[in-house]
């Protein structure tokens, strides 16, 4: 199938490679130069604009940083992908962007005669590289079926969350829960140590209880051992927590736990850990 992939950052480059490795005809684009070399070597073609990449593609996928980057990729009147897409082709937004922007983008796609689904992902760099992300999809079942060859190449499971917008709403649940658990674990392990006890032993015992999820076991181990690898940075967590808080505020929905989690990760950012892995939040309490 002819596809396009827009945005070749840490996640996007890996996701695009899974499409190439699955045997699809993939055109790729990135805002800055030098990111497409490995993909081109593997068989992709590099386009000069999102519009050029999207021309003739049945499925066009985007993985970029935020609302502004997504708007530039899709709706720029001269270079945007929607202007290059054929009627009936499917636009797939995998970026973690605001629900309000997803609604606006869906409207722009409809005006362009293009089908649209939102498909943010659960998973970090290793699952992206291995094609084992979890795809959280909002949209019409027929459009999901059209995009399924791309979704199946990028992910190990595709969950239809509901209509357009349900995908990103579900993604905010996933990332909000991830962040809240990490923030709580960091401060509680620090409290154990402040009381003069072995935080590592307390964590071992926690892992033997029903409270400890697989994520908490894996991320807690990284938290205690420390890591220089960046699977998802503190700044990324703060961006997503901001999306949750802003969206909830517009819906007049109180989110005190999310706001407390924001405060905790803000401490990490202000301590110079913004570009470090999210689990490095524990360092805040060690350096107090």
Is 171 noted as a catalytic residue in this protein? yes
Annotated catalytic residue within 77, 171, 217, 250: 171
Question: Cα–Cα distance between 22 and 236 in angstroms, integer?
Answer: 29
For the stretch 18-34, pLDDT in tens is 999 999 999 999 999 88
* Exposed / middle / buried, residue 180 (Cβ in 10 Å: 0-12, 13-18, 19+): middle
CB atoms within 10 A of CB 39: 22
Provide the whole-model pTM. Answer: 0.94
Question: Cα–Cα distance between 259 and 114 in angstroms, integer?
Answer: 37
For the stretch 60-107, pLDDT in tens is 999 999 999 999 999 998 999 999 999 999 999 999 999 999 999 999
Residue 39 has pLDDT above 90, yes or no: yes
């Amino acid at each position: 199938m002819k596809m396009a992939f827009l945005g070749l950052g840490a996640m996007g480059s890996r996701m695009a490679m899974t499409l190439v490795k699955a045997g699809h005809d993939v055109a790729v684009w990135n805002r800055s130069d030098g990111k497409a070399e490995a993909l081109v070597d593997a068989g992709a073609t590099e386009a000069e604009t999102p519009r050029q990449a999207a021309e003739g593609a049945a499925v066009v996928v985007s993985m970029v940083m935020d609302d502004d980057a997504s708007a530039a990729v899709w709706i720029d009147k001269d270079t945007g992908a929607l202007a290059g897409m054929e009627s009936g082709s499917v636009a797939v937004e995998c970026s973690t962007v605001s629900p309000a922007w997803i609604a606006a983008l869906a409207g722009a796609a409809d005006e362009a005669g293009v089908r649209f689904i939102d498909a943010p992902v659960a998973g970090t760099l290793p699952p992206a590289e291995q094609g084992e992300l979890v795809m959280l999809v909002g949209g019409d079942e027929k459009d999901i079926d059209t995009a399924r060859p791309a979704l199946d190449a990028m992910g190990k499971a595709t969950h239809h969350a509901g209509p357009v917008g349900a995908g990103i709403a579900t993604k905010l649940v996933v990332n909000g829960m991830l962040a809240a658990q990490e923030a709580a674990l960091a401060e509680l392990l620090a409290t154990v140590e402040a009381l003069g006890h072995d935080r590592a032993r307390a964590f071992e015992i926690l892992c033997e209880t029903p409270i400890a999820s697989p994520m908490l076991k894996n991320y807690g181990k990284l938290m205690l051992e420390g890591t220089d690898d960046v699977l998802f940075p503190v700044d990324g967590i703060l961006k997503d927590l901001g999306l949750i808080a802003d969206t909830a505020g517009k819906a007049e929905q109180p989110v005190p736990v999310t706001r407390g989690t924001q405060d905790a990760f803000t401490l990490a950012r202000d301590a110079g850990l913004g570009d470090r892995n999210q689990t490095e939040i524990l360092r805040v309490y060690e350096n107090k």
